[in-house]
Amino acid sequence: MADTLTTLAELVRFNSLDVNPAEISDILNGAPVLAQLHAMMSSNGTNHVYNVETTAPVIGFRAVNAGADYTASSSTQTTVALKYIDATVREDIAQCQAYRGGSEAWLDRRTARQLRQALFTLEKQVFNGTVGGDASGFLGLADDANYNGLADALVVNAGGTTAGTGSSVWFIRSTPDDASMALVGAGDEGLSMDNINFVIGETFKAQIAGSNSKLMTALCRDIGGHLGVQIGSKYAAARIANLTADSGKGLTDSLLADALALFPSSDPPTHIAMSRRSLTQLQKSRTTYSPIGAPAPRPSEYEGIPIVVTDAILNTETLLA
């Protein structure tokens, strides 16, 4: 697919002295959940490997002078293949030099937009994986065998039936503890601290194909990194699935209680992520049993667990079976 370059008309919109320089957008591409996730450096470059204890040791009491069997715990090993997200900026040098603020200022504007969209793309991939996200991206929550079927122990069925209108609410646990969910980056071992190495590079010149397929000089900045998501333990997440706009099939406190009950008492979830539609459904469900008939306040937490609303969770999911 050919590049879609910034048009001269776009430059003119920003070059006028009587235009408010503020960045105003109609694009729903915030990444509020990503801002809450713990991040860690990959254990091994573009392949992050970790072990999960799957069988507990057997421990019991014994009488004095009587022996006891020893049964050790066992583990399975999981590998997360990190994928490169590319948000590189490429702008015609002639256009950059024509901007009243200068070439670097123009690139800064375009970089901010690229970065914002890149973070939103990452957040979509965390939830939707290759199922509803980018098929070339890393595996996300929706790909995980613990959360992709109604029979799974960590899935609560909301019972919606209208195809193509499904949504999910995700309970997630994300802490510095390796058992939790975390964003993983390949990292740069040359730095003195752990890092995910999501890079915004320096400006450089390059020859690229223009709109007429002939070469032109562009100013570029590399933006990107190898990233993925670790779901350390199966109890790092739980899912309320098949939420729809069908009557009685939206989000309620009862469904939230069912999902919360799936977590170990020692490792509760740290966040609840949902779409705007699910938040509205929850608010309206609370209004129906208000003792004075007043509208319920906009929900911001459940049992002390903060609710994070994101447009990265879709309302067009395929229903789980």
Task: Give Cβ neighbours of residue 145 (< 8 Å, ≥ 6 apart).
Answer: 152
Tokens 């997200």 correspond to what residue? 85
- How far is residue 150's CA from residue 162's CA, in Å, rounded to a whole number? 16
Range with the poorest average pLDDT among 66-70, 191-195, 214-218, 232-236: 191-195
**Residue 1: what pLDDT?**
53
CB of 127 closer than 8 Å to CB of 170: yes
Gap between the Cα atoms of 257 and 307, Å rounded: 14
Query: What global pTM score does this model have?
Result: 0.87
Could you read off the pLDDT of 28-65 as tens digits, one per residue? 568 999 999 999 999 999 999 999 999 999 999 999 99
In the predicted structure, residue 16 carries a pLDDT above the cut 80: no
The fraction of the chain above a pLDDT of 70, given in percent, is 87
Q: How far apart are CA 26 and CA 24, in angstroms?
A: 7
Convert the chain into a string of H (helix), E (strand) and C (coil): CCCCCCCHHHHHHHHCCCCCCCCCCCCCCCCCCCCCCEEEECCCCCEEEEEEEEECCECCCCCCCCCCCCECCEEEEEEEECEEEECCEEEEHHHHHHCCCCHHHHHHHHHHHHHHHHHHHHHHHHHHHHHHCCCCCCCCHHHCCCCCCCCCCCEEECCCCCCCCEEEEEEECCCCCCCCEEEEECCCCCCCCCCCCCEEEEEEEEEEECCCCCEEEEEEEEEEEEEEEEECCHHHEEEEEEECCCCCCCCCHHHHHHHHCCCCCCCCCCEEEECHHHHHHHHHHHHCCCCCCCCCCCCCEECCEEEEECCCCCCCECCCC
pLDDT above 90: percentage of residues in the chain: 77
